[in-house]
Structure 1
């Protein structure tokens, strides 16, 4: 079974990689862009949808404001990218926002940022994959209604790809990411050419009329209109997610790491801003209508209900259909690569989450297993944790982007805002110590950029909290708070364990050996495993050695004692009475009594166990031994030594068949002759 499991693991994940090959996994810019920027690049696939969907509540008067909302989002994107270029130069170690905030604003603030980022990474996967499942359903109508299954299947696929290693996943995902950029670029060129020549058609939804919600009969005026504009802007800011992943992933870049990361950030900002602007402008010119509830919000020109068989496609699909009306295969291509890039956008989180988790585990805020690399030099435990969280969200929210998007963005803008404030304090501290005029000038310029970034992201954070809190953002804040408290508790536990295990000043007492060793061999009957356990125990030359059995049946005990004497075993046999036919309790009571009589003695309990080759055999053997060991482990001053005996069914399942007890001593000579 073990060989089959190993073979399957190697088939799925590939051969193990030695630690010396860690440098092999470092990324050039051409691979770093699709790996770390795919989230932000793919956000243009659903950010326009959310902007139009929100403004649709105010009818046609609301959609007129679409370009201005897009312009505001692009402005924030440019400022954030410029700000994070300062981050990657100042903090190239990969701690990203967590390191910046912890060092400049304190541990609690850093932990708050870490909580926000971890939650947002999980939401990135859930939102991106859920949106992708909708595009898949638009290309393959037979999959409508199965979006949840499609989404979960994609998460599982991405998990396996990332378990194979960062560089391998980057190579696999680079082509689809570049295909997406090419497809949107091609659509932009054809679309604007058609617009300039007057041949640009209308979208499939252009013939419908948006009904206006009662709250917006007067259009986007007054407080209600301002809040709707702010809500649309907050939803559009989903396009900024993923920017922080590059600052967390600087160690994964090839040298010079900081410069390559900053260049990748610049490419990300330029491409993402251009794509978002193009899609929104084309949506306006083709008359795209996009509503949360099409059956209620869309009407025909005459005021009638839309056809029952009308299916509302995402914005990019509607644009591709009208722009490439003469080449249906290009429409299929755009829709397919858009769905694919949304699937792969989650790959940004699959790289950022494990790295951040590893740093937090190193600092004692997450289980230390999160800091360990797997066979393929990837942080396997972090990858599995992320996948599990995303699958739960997809299942709970039925893979509906409109519901998930309300939980989104809050965490990332908390990290944006605190990170920029931390960078302002960073540059202020550096300026106090710097004396070179050129350095001071550069630092002042960087500080100005980060101040602007702080003011702008802080404003967006307030807008997001106001507009999204009652729509689901409170759930994100609650999860963040619980995660914050959990990580504080984990750190407190690790600190208390370190303090408890510290040697202290009295090193002589710490090195002191027990005065004597009292060895106890547990006996159920006289057979080969028992004799092996006796041989092992004798080989350690303890101060006291005895065999112990529990008297459950008088006849069996009498037979055992007679055989023991007949074989002349050179170890005394003690019988523990058990009137209630218990096994564990009498042994525990006796071991504890030995400890009470001689507190400085070390008690070593030898437990014979069968080594079996089939899972069902484990159910038939070793149950009493497992219960005893689990209870004895909590007894101070007691060491449990398992003495294995390989049954014939175990042959071929292990690398070798010779085992030694925990003492490290070899078995007695008569035992070796077996």
Structure 2
């Protein structure tokens, strides 16, 4: 069993890497782009669609706002990319928004950023995978009934690939990302050239009108403004994942900051070109899409019609049909890159969690690297939470999207505000004129970014809060409170364990009272007695609990017959409760001699096969757990290896995680 587990583990994640091989896992720019930028690059596959879905609640009348909304998103994206380039240069040690906010705005602000980002990373996985499944279903509608199962399977696949290490995941994801970029740019370029030549592509839904939602047909004033703002906030999903590069600077090859900034700039330019191209082409091709297919006027059998995504409709229109090579190519790479876009979160979340764990805001296990030098515990935690969300929301993009991007703009706003304070502090001490000009320019960029992203955050809150974004707010608040509580626990534990008087702590106890638990007189019992003697305690006795009178009498007879010179203490238990009887006796000794150390020795035997554990009781764990909570008591297990435990010498038993479980002897059962 252990051998099979070890083999499967190596097949999934590969051979274990030495700690000194960490440098070999650092990323060149060509691999860093698909790893850290696949999320914002792939967002163009659904950002335009989300804008159109909001505007069409009032029918076709409001689609003329689309280019203006898209232009605002492009401007925002440019400002955010420029702002984060300043973060990368100023904080090359990683941590991104969290590091900036903590250093410049304080601990609480830093935790707000961390909580918001962690929630958003989870949403990145859920939305990206769900959107990728949507595009697969657009190409193969018969798979619609298997949406959730497909989504969960893709999350499991991403988890396995990321457990193999950052560099290997980059190699796996590089080709699909670059193929997606090429496919979308070729599609947009071909479509726009056809438009300029007078042969504009026409979407399959261009012939259908859209029935307005009740009360949404003739919006004026504030209602119209709110609709446009809601469409803008949905389009801002194109900015998700931009901060991942600033969080992952330590994963880049040297010079880390310059390589990360170059990758960030390349990502920004490509994402802007792709988003602008898809949106322009959607307007040219007259793509019409609605939340409910039956809102499309003139569509026959709407109840059984599965709407295709905007990307799918554009690919079919540009490449002359949904059976062309171009259509299937774009759909395949779009679906693939949307699923792989979750990899941005699989790299950003564990890195951020590791930093938080190092600062004692999350469990320390999240700071540990696995066999492949990846933060395995963070990867598994992200996969579990994202999988639960996909299952709860049935992998529906429209339902999940409302929980999205709130965290992104929270971190954007606080980090850019923190950067303004950073540059103010630098300018107070910098005297070089050239550097002062650079710092002033950077401050203007970050101040602009802070103002714009703060405005967008307010818009997102106003337009999405009641539609489900409140859940993301609640999750972030709960996470913030939890991280504060974890830090308080670690701080109080450290204070309690701190050495203030070394000489006093090293002083030996007044006496050592050793107790050997006995149920049957056999070899493990004798070994435990011999082991306890080796400690030369001031007092040594054996302890048994009288559950069955005949068995106890037989034990006493054997004790005298063998001439064992250790007193045998018999504790009565009229209700056959062994654990409680032992605890009462031990605590009574502690009360009588509070300055003494009570050393309890538990004889137990070790089995060699997993199935043998099923056949034996597990009372050692229960007894130890009870005794360990008693002040002044130490617990020692004295193992006796059975012949089957020779299997422990097998290589599989020495694999990480392979442990031979010790079993207590006789009738020390959990009651």
Q: Displacement, 1:594? A: 2.0
- Which of 469, 475, 487 lines up with 2:471 in the alignment? 475
SS across alignment from 1:61 = coil
Give yes or no for contact 2:141–2:306 (8 Å, CA) kept in 1: no
Q: Deviations over 1:424-473 (max 9, x none)?
A: 00100111111111111111000000010011001100110111111111
Q: CA 1:471/1:367 → structure 2, altered by over 3 Å: closer, same or farther?
A: same
Aligned residue number for residue 5 of structure 1: 5
Aligned residue number for residue 272 of structure 1: 271
Q: Distance in 1 between matches of 2:472 and 2:250?
A: 29
Does residue 345 of the first structure (1) align with residue 341 of the second (2)? yes
Give yes or no for contact 2:293–2:302 (8 Å, CA) kept in 1: no
Q: Distance in 2 between matches of 1:578 and 1:217?
A: 81
Aligned residue number for residue 669 of structure 1: none
Give yes or no for contact 1:299–1:306 (8 Å, CA) kept in 2: no
Aligned residue number for residue 388 of structure 2: 392
Does residue 583 of the first structure (1) align with residue 581 of the second (2)? no
Within 5 Å, which residues of 2 pair with 1:222-237? 222-237=221-236
Aligned residue number for residue 298 of structure 1: 296
Aligned residue number for residue 99 of structure 2: 99
Q: Distance in 2 between matches of 1:564 and 1:218?
A: 97
- Which of 416, 426, 430 lines up with 2:426 in the alignment? 430
Does residue 360 of the first structure (1) align with residue 348 of the second (2)? no
Does residue 495 of the first structure (1) align with residue 491 of the second (2)? yes
Within 5 Å, which residues of 2 pair with 1:144-223? 144-218=144-218, 221-223=220-222
Q: CA 1:37/1:283 → structure 2, altered by over 3 Å: closer, same or farther?
A: same
Q: Displacement, 1:193? A: 1.8
Q: Deviations over 1:595-642 (max 9, x none)?
A: 222222211111111212344433443433332111101011111111
Give yes or no for contact 1:203–1:322 (8 Å, CA) kept in 2: yes
Q: Displacement, 1:308? A: 4.5
Give yes or no for contact 1:583–1:624 (8 Å, CA) kept in 2: no
Give yes or no for contact 1:2–1:653 (8 Å, CA) kept in 2: no
Does residue 281 of the first structure (1) align with residue 269 of the second (2)? no
Range that drifts further, 444-453 or 317-326? 317-326
SS across alignment from 2:33 = helix
Give yes or no for contact 2:191–2:201 (8 Å, CA) kept in 1: no
Q: Distance in 2 between matches of 1:452 and 1:402?
A: 31
Q: Distance in 2 between matches of 1:645 and 1:3?
A: 23
Aligned residue number for residue 52 of structure 2: 52
Q: CA RMSD in A?
A: 1.6
5+ long unaligned stretches in structure 1:
659-674
Q: Distance in 2 between matches of 1:513 and 1:366?
A: 36
Aligned residue number for residue 525 of structure 1: 520
Q: Deviations over 1:40-78 (max 9, x none)?
A: 000001111100101111222211111111110000000
Q: Distance in 1 between matches of 2:217 and 2:536?
A: 93
Give yes or no for contact 1:610–1:621 (8 Å, CA) kept in 2: no
Give yes or no for contact 1:77–1:269 (8 Å, CA) kept in 2: yes
Give yes or no for contact 1:44–1:276 (8 Å, CA) kept in 2: yes
Q: Distance in 2 between matches of 1:274 and 1:52?
A: 19
Q: Distance in 2 between matches of 1:88 and 1:182?
A: 27
Q: Distance in 2 between matches of 1:406 and 1:614?
A: 51
Aligned residue number for residue 665 of structure 2: none
Q: Distance in 2 between matches of 1:398 and 1:624?
A: 43
Range that drifts further, 619-628 or 312-321? 619-628
Q: Distance in 2 between matches of 1:280 and 1:363?
A: 43
* TM-score normalised by length of structure 1: 0.95
Q: Distance in 1 between matches of 2:286 and 2:244?
A: 35
5+ long unaligned stretches in structure 2:
655-671
Aligned residue number for residue 376 of structure 2: 380
SS across alignment from 2:181 = helix
Q: Distance in 1 between matches of 2:461 and 2:300?
A: 36
Range that drifts further, 567-576 or 175-184? 567-576
Q: Deviations over 1:219-269 (max 9, x none)?
A: 6x4111111110000000000011110000000000111111111111111
Q: Distance in 1 between matches of 2:479 and 2:503?
A: 42
Within 5 Å, which residues of 2 pair with 1:229-248? 229-248=228-247
Aligned residue number for residue 665 of structure 1: none
Range that drifts further, 546-555 or 424-433? 546-555
Q: Distance in 1 between matches of 2:599 and 2:282?
A: 77
Aligned residue number for residue 549 of structure 2: 554
Q: Deviations over 1:180-221 (max 9, x none)?
A: 0010111122112211222233111011011233434336x4
Q: Deviations over 1:131-162 (max 9, x none)?
A: 11111112222211211110010000000100
Give yes or no for contact 1:231–1:464 (8 Å, CA) kept in 2: yes
Q: Distance in 1 between matches of 2:460 and 2:3?
A: 53
Q: Distance in 1 between matches of 2:620 and 2:60?
A: 75
Q: Deviations over 1:94-121 (max 9, x none)?
A: 1111110011111011101100000000
Does residue 402 of the first structure (1) align with residue 401 of the second (2)? no
Q: Distance in 1 between matches of 2:69 and 2:215?
A: 20
Q: Distance in 2 between matches of 1:364 and 1:193?
A: 56
Q: CA 1:218/1:581 → structure 2, altered by over 3 Å: closer, same or farther?
A: closer
Q: Distance in 2 between matches of 1:481 and 1:210?
A: 39
Aligned residue number for residue 661 of structure 1: none
Corresponding residue pairs, total = 652
* TM-score normalised by length of structure 2: 0.95
Within 5 Å, which residues of 2 pair with 1:83-162? 83-162=83-162
